[in-house]
């Protein structure tokens, strides 16, 4: 799942303005544990 979010970020489809702060924080935590 984290890779999916990472792909969105890399593709520029992920915007802080479009994501609730708490949800974004959860994603960041996921990425910390699932970095390539």
Chain-centre distance for alpha carbon 25: 8
Answer yes or no: are the C-beta atoms of 31 and 5 closer than 8 Å: yes
pTM score? 0.33
Report mean pLDDT in 10-residue bins for the chain, 36 residues.
Answer: 73 63 75 72
Answer yes or no: are the C-beta atoms of 3 and 28 closer than 8 Å: no
Q: Where are the domains of the chain?
A: 2-33
pLDDT at residue 9, as a whole number: 72
Tokens representing 29?
Answer: 């935590």
7 to each of 12, 22, 25, how far by Cα in Å? 9, 20, 17
């Amino acid at each position: 799942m984290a890779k999916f979010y990472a792909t969105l970020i890399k593709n520029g489809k992920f915007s802080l303005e479009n994501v609730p702060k708490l949800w974004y924080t959860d994603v960041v935590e996921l990425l910390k544990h699932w970095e390539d």
